[in-house]
Amino acid sequence: MGNKKGLFYASCVALTVTSMTFAIRAGILNELKVDFGLQDAQLGWVNGMASFGFPIAMLLLGLAYNTVGPKKLMIIAFGCHLLGLIMTIFSGGFWGLILSTFAIGFANGSVEAACNPMIADMYPDNKTTMLNKFHVWFPGGLVIGSLISYFLEDSLGWQLLIATMLVPTIIYGIMIFRLDFPKTQNLESNTKENIKAIMSSPLFWFMGILMTLTATTELGTTQWIERIIKNDGVHPMIVLAMITGLMAIGRYFAGPLVKKFNPIGVLLLSAVISAIGLVLLSQVSGGMVYFAAMVFAIGVTYFWPTMIGFIGENLPRTGALGMSLIGGFGMFGLTIWNPIIGNWLDTERQLAIDMGQTLEAAELTAGKATLDNIAVFPAILILAFGLLFFIMKKKETES
């Protein structure tokens, strides 16, 4: 196996761990709520710590990438994953969950800070396609984590479900210690130049703001799937596995789509379809939830890797730092919105109960109302990506 392939595979295993932390935590929210007597708003703060640690890692390690290289960043990711998972297993309450989840979030951000620019550098003529193939393993890990939760939730406690993630963590740790990492060759590797390019680019900041909305559309829904649709006549973990399975397939075969529509065209189409999917999820029940979830999955499939690929292709002078920061924008947005999503659930449930609904009916009503609220994000994205699509088309025509 070539060193380039080995590094790509190690990156994929590390990203699988990252996404498993999202899926398995989504599957144990009810148990955490009961065991520690937490409100949904408190669960939102716990979830938010994962997305808070992520952008901090992306910022700090994005700045360090040119100096220390991707191998040391991956070692940091490995150490933080081990620490965070073990701390979670032995957590005694809300603050233990806060600290351990922050460590996991920092590890997740470290993986992205190291791997996105490394892969873009190794495949300079095929950046967006290879980043989509790398990001196959985010939904891929969600599928694995969802199925672990579904099949083992009744036989294992939540602590042992968390412990299952130690296995792939140790695997990628062994891989990164054994492989040689390349020096940067095809990215702008002057950090001062990266910062200058970022600060002087309105397009970068515009895409950064949009990244907060694309990330929340995808992860703000999937992270809360168990709380949002648990009384909808379907099993949330099966729905999550189906969503993320479709996403993995879509990302693997992203190349022809990106070439046909270009990144902004793909992002615009994704916003339209994800908005339709969220509206459908907020309206249907029972078996139709699976159909609505499929539409939503198709919509959010290309958001994350295509946003990063767009920066790599259109703003190459921003280098590794630009690719790290754009991911950091996404998780920072999710940090802000996670507690708000939890509060929406608490508020809508109480309103439904006050109107005479049973607790089970109120949970369903709250989930539907929350999905309606999240649907506003892709609606805004349709306008923003549509505007950018026509501006870029006009520039191509003029040139």
Evaluate whether 317 touches 193 at the Cβ level (below 8 Å): yes
Which pLDDT does position 208 carry in this prediction? 95
- CA–CA dist 70, 65 (Å, integer): 6
Q: Tell me the residue type at 149.
A: S
- CA–CA dist 153, 399 (Å, integer): 58
Which pLDDT does position 399 carry in this prediction? 63
- CA–CA dist 38, 35 (Å, integer): 8
- Cβ neighbours around 353 below 10 Å, total: 16
Backbone phi and psi for residue 301, each to the nearest 5 degrees, phi listed first: -50, -45
Which pLDDT does position 393 carry in this prediction? 81
Which pLDDT does position 1 carry in this prediction? 43
Residue 44 domain-assigned (yes or no):
yes
Tell me how many domains the chain contains: 1
Residue 186 domain-assigned (yes or no):
no
Which pLDDT does position 172 carry in this prediction? 96
Which pLDDT does position 54 carry in this prediction? 86
Q: Tell me the residue type at 303.
A: F
Evaluate whether 368 touches 282 at the Cβ level (below 8 Å): yes
Q: How many helices (H) and strands (E) does the chain have?
A: 18, 0
Print pLDDT tens along the chain (399 aa). 458 888 999 999 999 999 898 778 777 777 888 888 888 778 878 877 877 888 899 889 988 988 888 999 999 999 999 999 999 999 888 898 999 999 999 999 999 999 988 998 888 877 778 888 898 898 888 888 878 887 887 777 888 989 999 999 999 999 999 988 877 776 777 888 999 999 999 999 999 999 999 999 998 888 788 778 877 778 887 888 888 889 988 888 877 777 777 889 899 999 999 999 999 999 998 889 999 999 999 999 999 989 988 998 889 899 888 988 998 899 888 888 888 998 898 899 999 998 888 888 888 898 899 999 999 999 999 999 999 999 888 877 776
Which residues lie closer than 8 Å to 95 by C-beta, 6 or more apart? Answer: none
Q: What is the CATH number of the domain that holds 92?
A: 1.20.1250.20
Evaluate whether 25 touches 141 at the Cβ level (below 8 Å): no
Which pLDDT does position 218 carry in this prediction? 93
Residue 74 domain-assigned (yes or no):
yes
Question: Which domain range does residue 315 map to?
Answer: 3-180+191-398
Nearest to 313 by CA among 114, 132, 192: 132
